[in-house]
Amino acid sequence: MTTHPAQLINGEWAAGLGSEFKSVNPANNEVIWSANSATAEQVDAAVKAARQAFYAWGDLDLAERLTIVQRFAQELKENSEELAVAIAKETGKPLWETRTEVGAMVGKIAISEKAYHERTGTVENPMPVGRAVIRHKAHGVVAVFGPYNFPGHLPNGHIVPALLAGNTVIFKPSELTPYVAELTLKLWQKAGLPAGVINLVQGEVETGKALASHKGIDGLFFTGSSRTGHLLHEQYAGQPGKILALEMGGNNPLIVKDASDTKAVVHDIIQSAFISSGQRCTCARKLFLPVGAQGDEILEHLIRATKAIKVGNFDDSEQPFMGSMISERAAAGMVAAQQQLQELGGESLLELTHTANTGFVTPGIIECTNVTNFPDEEHFGPLLKVFRYSDFDAAIEKANDTSFGLSAGLLGDNEADYEHFLRRIRAGIVNWNRPITGASSAAPFGGIGASGNHRASAYYAADYCAYPVASVELEKVTLPGTLSPGLNID
């Protein structure tokens, strides 16, 4: 058992009392962090601490809560390089990218403040008698579950608006990125967040289950896989009064039609499919190219440019486009996915290859036009499936043939095509002539179908962090000038 104090409960760091788990750098298998997971009793203590801290935190003026949240932004800025290196070491992502992740965490503060006012602020209107007021109140104690692919930015996208609204939080990060979570929570402490307002419970699935099933939480904000999101939804059944926000995966299509600039098309495909080694929920998984010379030219150029993608260590002086995947296991999973598609009739145009005992893979492209029984699964890595089409509507129909609905895009010069695409395609993020990754924090972010439950995050996260209270108010109890018929109260 390690003595590493990895759990933050009521402002105190404590060692977990559950089983040991480790975090490794997936590029070289170096162990960078190890500790014991939180037991159900420790999760219970964290929930109780959050409950105890709730009234005092919620009673603060927004300005007072904001001061602390802004100090956290300052801490992020001052410690940005340390955090960017930690994210890179733990996830394998290159430094150029993890620096932008820390930048997005800082940017989240001002955006969340704006969203708080615009989505959930207070509105007062005069009435013939008195006034009508709409206010928003925090739910209470909320659990935040984070994924590994953006271990700083995505949990932060739930935590900041939750705290601004006046909730207290129990954060359960991915077991693959505990080091980033620990560093981030230390910055919250340095920013002066009172004890118990945010608590950290680290551990594997058992810790997650203990938190998700705890009856003391008032809400659960989850970003992660569709499989886990569905399990949580089942577990949550029978509690209609509790808020559940699910941000899950995608099986995202990108269609190319009549785009004249081949280089730009290839750039936007690569940026959509292979950024973060394909480990973004918004990544393009299915590429639809027209049958004929234009589609052939794009495909040939795409294969050439994808072959030339530099894959390397997070700190290489000449920065790679793609780093290691999150784990050796995830990398092996991509090889297995490719093999499954090949067995179903897919033809590899560029084979995804795996460097044994590491998380490194090269990007792959596989033609799947003739695959029957195409699996509707999110393969969370750099493997792009190509479909050739002759009819635009048929391509859109095939693009929609998925239980997911997160992001989708059209690359093409004709605005009427885009308008048609926008009307027909089913997704929460629909782009035109831009990559389908890199969604803005200043817009709502979420998907339909198996991708989410209509609780969009990013700019709309404010919505699920508070509930509206409608009031009609008058300073003094006053008898109306005219009474309802049939009333005599003399």
Ligand X SMILES: NC(=O)C1=CN([C@@H]2O[C@H](COP(=O)(O)OP(=O)(O)OC[C@H]3O[C@@H](n4cnc5c(N)ncnc54)[C@H](O)[C@@H]3O)[C@@H](O)[C@H]2O)C=CC1
Ligand Y SMILES: O=C(O)CCC(=O)N[C@@H](CCC(=O)O)C(=O)O
Q: Which does 378 bind (CB under 5 to 8 A by kind): ligand X, ligand Y, none?
A: ligand X
Q: What residue has token string 């700190």?
A: 315
* Residue 155 vs 412, nearer CB to ligand X: 155
Residue 220 in 3-state DSSP?
strand
Site string for ligand Y, 451-490 (x = CB under 6 A): ------xx--------------------------------
Q: How far is CA 430 from the centre of its chain?
A: 17
CB 467 within 8 A of CB 136: yes
Catalytic residue among 247, 328, 367, 378: 247
Does the annotation list 228 as a binding residue? Answer: yes
For residues 22-51, which are near ligand Y according to CB under 6 A? Answer: none
Tell me the closest approach of the beta carbon of residue 188 to ligand X, in angstroms: 18
Tokens standing for residue 479: 């008898």
Contact indicator for 333, 344 with CB cutoff of 8 Å? no
Q: Is residue 168 a known part of a binding site?
A: no
- 281 catalytic, yes or no? yes
Rounded (10°) angle between helices 205-212 and 40-59: 50
Residue 443 lies near ligand X (rule: CB under 6 A): no
The type of residue at 402 is T
For ligand X, which residue of 38, 46, 154, 201 counts as binding (CB under 6 A)?
154
Distance from C-alpha of 16 to C-alpha of 201, rounded to nearest angstrom = 9
Based on the residue annotation, tell me whether 283 is a catalytic residue of this protein: no
**Helical residues (DSSP H) of 34-174, grouped into ranges:** 40-59, 62-78, 80-91, 95-120, 153-165
Check: CB of residue 217 under 8 Å from CB of residue 141: yes
450 lies in the site for ligand X, by CB under 6 A: no
Binding-site partner at residue 182 among ligand X, ligand Y, none, CB < 5 to 8 Å by type: none
- Please tell me whether 224 is known to bind a ligand: yes
- 77: its two tokens: 């800025």
Place of tokens 């629909």: 430
Give every strand in the sheet of 243-247, ordered side by side.
Answer: 12-14, 7-9, 198-200, 168-172, 141-145, 219-223, 243-247
DSSP3 helix / strand / coil % (the chain, rounded to 5): 40, 20, 40
Q: Is 175 in the site for ligand X (CB under 6 A)?
A: yes
When asked if residue 18 is in the footprint of ligand X (CB under 6 A), the reply is no
Closest CB to ligand X among residues 250, 412: 250
Residue 209 binding ligand X, by CB under 6 A: yes
* Residue 306 in marked binding region: no
CB of 292 or CB of 438, closer to ligand Y = 438
Q: Please give the residue ranges that form the binding site for ligand Y (CB under 6 A).
A: 149-150, 157, 280-282, 437-439, 441, 445, 457-458
Q: Please give the residue ranges that form the binding site for ligand X (CB under 6 A).
A: 145-149, 154, 172-175, 205, 208-209, 212, 223-225, 228, 231, 247-249, 281, 378, 380, 406
The residues that are catalytic are 247, 281
